[in-house]
Amino acid sequence: MSEITRQGLEPLRTIGNDTPRIDAIERVTGQAKYTRDWKLPGMLYGKVLRSPHPHARLLSIDTSEAEALPGVRAVITYENAQVVWGAGSVNGGRQYNDPAKAATIHRRYIFNNPVRFVGDSIAAVAATDRHIAEEAVSLIKVEYEELPFVLEPEEALQADAPKVYPEGNLCPDFRGEFAPMVSDIGDVEAGFAEADQIFEERYDTGFIHNAQMEPRCSLAHWQGDKLVLYTPSQGISNCRHDTARDLGLEDHQVQVIAKYMGGGFGNKNQNQDADLVAATLSKRAAAPVMLEYSRREDWLGVHGRWPTVQHYKIGVKDDGEVTAMQMLGYSGMGPYRKNSGGISGMDAYGCPNRYREISPVYTNRTTSGNFRAPSEPHGFYGIENMMDDVAYKIGMDPVEFTLRNMRRPTEERPFTNYSLDEVISTGAERFNWQARRKVVPGSDDGPIKRGAGFSFMMFRAGVGTSSAIVRVNANQEYTLYVGVTDIGPGAKTTMGMIAAEALDTELSNVEVVWGDTDRCPYSVGESGSRTTIMTGLAVVEAAKELKRQIADNGMPSGNDVLIGSATPTPTTDGKTRQCFGAHFVEIEVDTRVGSTKILKYTTVHESGRIINPTTARDQIRGATIQGIGQAIHEDLLYDPKSGQPLTPGYYRARHLTHKDIPDIDIHFIEVDDGYGPFGAKTAGESGIILAPAAVGNAVANAIGRRMRSMPITRDKILGAMA
């Protein structure tokens, strides 16, 4: 059993108490309605035709046989349905908006010619039955001219590499310039000159598919010139806005409904091509269309975490002071710039001389995009393995080395609070770090070796604008309107708990209305660990406004209601607001077969005040396990000769199952820094940031060989031992 402990704050009336989800009954009885569970009268089924080639020009397409198949109602192709999917490719990989749309050089359409990866969309069919739609797709004849392709980011930047776009393979930045992303702090050359020793190493990390259990789908239904879209979206407001922009509609002409959704982890932000394809098919067929992606289509057609290459150079004095840090990174974005391609981690150190240059690169692999903490787990894996290696090489305990060099508040850059020292020391004590780590890595006798690893992080917990409405009737029953969707973390319950606390009432007395843009106000979306803080703050402010009205007018009577609403624009008074965490893991490696087994896993997190300990606990445990899977198993391998993906799907990517799961001890240090709703910070993404780094360090401590390529699969361990 995992141990779950907390320290620092006492529970409030509602907040801080273990609370079952308000929709738990719906979730355990099969009553929760997910997108594919909706049925509308006359509904058709949609299916997409995708490229079997990594790079090809489409010379011709013949849909006559497909159209002749009984039951087929619409066939759309790259020739007759050129709809821009704005969020599918944006200059600089930034949030899609009007200026970004105008500036974007390499636009993505719902169907593309040339096709640029195995799985790129070409055409789609709507038919009376999903099997007929599948048959019709297989009857479409496409003539391809195969083009040369490139899979690896560093290779793609060579002068003679096949070009994904005529301008070359370095992605344009948000200004439209073909330049890497550079962060240059202090004087890195002077820092290296100060160093007693300089270490250089290359790390690489794989493509990790989000792999949420519910494959992408979308149900589009036109009512006159209004589009009703049932879709699993991690942000119904953004989805509505992006869809309206792409289809040339006003926001009020699009209604987005996302009641329940089967996960996303960043895969369902904004709108997706499925929404636009379903809408276009529905318009042509004059009927509602349910577009379904298969598991394989979802794996290859949506996106996953970008694969990276990271070249580090670290300068350090003999006493353990780091004087300079440099990283040259390459992120494989696939052929579209859906997100940033960031590689974070160096900024968790205080070293005054840091140079980072990241080249996001187009390739003919599947598209890369946001996955839970988009820039962090691979970056922290790289830098914290690099630094752990340096610590052992100069004879220091990595924990001491970290305490010496990690970023701390300064007079110029104050924090709202800073608890990283306490987080790390608490974790080291709970884990018994000194007893478990090998001072000499790989020093266990025999083929089965144990070792311990550690990682630390800080991650954004900033405040921002969102909206909420709360209503009270004459029975003193409250209704909370929030534009959240419940992707899994329990946003509805969290919002209800914050409202109940702020209104000083029972949670059972608050009805939460969610997941429908026609009924709920703007919310930031379930991405960037923002909902609890930002929409939570709006709930607090709306409740305050309602309480002011009640104080002025008394409780409503008869048929009257009172309504409070708020769209606050909070700030942190110029201070940096972060959540903090440290993970400690002990691993046993069987060096004869390269297998790894986790013996002990200790996590300590400071995520401000914990609203619902039950769901916060499982955010950390779940994210940690995802991180372990990323560390030792998951990847999307490609055949270099054919450009074909070899390991799409849960089985081939070797996702963790029940039997692979260790107990994970959770410890929350609770703090109220005076910002955020009742002091809450972020929890959703923090767990996954730490696991790959800690696991990598533990394997190195066990076997005495640094594993510089993630995932750390058995063959790589055997290779390192050979």
Partner 1 sequence: MRDKKRPGDQFTKGKDPAVKYADPKKQVLNVKQQSRRDFLEGSGAAVAAGAGISAFGITSARAQSQDNTVSETTPISVTVNGTQHSLDVQDRWTLAEVLRDQLDLTGTKIGCNRSECGACTVLMDGQPVYACSQLAVWADGASIQTVEGLAQNGELSPVQRAFVENNGPQCGFCTPGQLMTATALLASNPSPTSEEVKEALVGNLCRCSNYNAIVEAVVMAGEEGGLA
Could you say which residues in the range 463-492 bind partner 1, by CB under 8 A?
487-490
Task: Give the type of residue at 387.
Answer: M
For position 572 contacting partner 1 by CB under 8 A, the verdict is: no
Residue whose C-alpha is closest to residue 322's, from 378, 425, 398, 422: 398
Buried b vs exposed e over 304-328: b needs ≥16 C-beta within 10 Å?
bbbbbbbbbbbbbeeebebbbbbbb
Please count the other Cβ atoms lying within 10 Å of the Cβ belonging to residue 158: 11
For position 495 contacting partner 1 by CB under 8 A, the verdict is: no
Q: Are 116 and 56 a contacting pair, CB within 8 Å?
A: no
Give the chain's end-to-end CA distance (angstroms, integer): 37
Residue 643 CB, shortest distance to partner 1, in Å, is 10
Residue 95 CB, shortest distance to partner 1, in Å, is 24
Of 416-435, which residues contact partner 1 (CB under 8 A)? none
Of 496-555, which residues contact partner 1 (CB under 8 A)? none
Give the binding range for partner 1 (CB under 8 A) out of 28-36, 159-167, 388-396, 554-562. 28-36
Q: Are 55 and 146 a contacting pair, CB within 8 Å?
A: yes
Question: For partner 1, which is the closer residue by CB, 54 or 568?
Answer: 54
- Across the beta sheet with 665-669, the strand order is 4-7, 665-669, 595-606, 578-590, 448-460
Residue 360 CB, shortest distance to partner 1, in Å, is 26
For position 32 contacting partner 1 by CB under 8 A, the verdict is: yes
Element housing 702 (H / E): helix 686-703
**From candidates 1, 159, 435, 551, binder to partner 1 by CB under 8 A:** 1
Residue 494 CB, shortest distance to partner 1, in Å, is 13
Residue 78 has what DSSP assignment? T
Of 647-706, which residues contact partner 1 (CB under 8 A)? 649-652, 655-659, 661, 663-664
Element housing 269 (H / E): none
Q: Residue written as tokens 């607001």? A: 577
Residue 531 CB, shortest distance to partner 1, in Å, is 15
For position 69 contacting partner 1 by CB under 8 A, the verdict is: yes
Task: Give the type of residue at 655.
Answer: H
For position 213 contacting partner 1 by CB under 8 A, the verdict is: yes
For position 131 contacting partner 1 by CB under 8 A, the verdict is: yes
Q: Residue written as tokens 């209004």? A: 226
Residue 652 CB, shortest distance to partner 1, in Å, is 8
For position 622 contacting partner 1 by CB under 8 A, the verdict is: yes
Contacts of 551 (CB under 8 A, 6+ apart): none
For position 31 contacting partner 1 by CB under 8 A, the verdict is: yes
Residue 615 CB, shortest distance to partner 1, in Å, is 6
Residue whose C-alpha is closest to residue 207's, from 450, 56, 37, 377: 377
CA atoms lying within 13 Å on the CB side of residue 468: 33
User: Within 432-576, where are the H helices?
Assistant: 433-436, 491-503, 536-553
Tokens of 273: 């091509």
For position 93 contacting partner 1 by CB under 8 A, the verdict is: no
* Count of residues that bind partner 1 according to CB under 8 A: 82
For position 645 contacting partner 1 by CB under 8 A, the verdict is: yes
Give the binding range for partner 1 (CB under 8 A) out of 18-26, 97-105, 415-423, 602-610. 18-26
Question: For partner 1, which is the closer residue by CB, 49 or 720?
Answer: 49
Of 36-55, which residues contact partner 1 (CB under 8 A)? 36-37, 39, 47, 49-53
CA dist 379 and 407 (Å) reads 16
**From candidates 261, 314, 470, 540, binder to partner 1 by CB under 8 A:** 261
Of 274-333, which residues contact partner 1 (CB under 8 A)? 294-297, 300
For position 70 contacting partner 1 by CB under 8 A, the verdict is: yes
Q: Are 273 and 88 a contacting pair, CB within 8 Å?
A: yes
For position 625 contacting partner 1 by CB under 8 A, the verdict is: yes
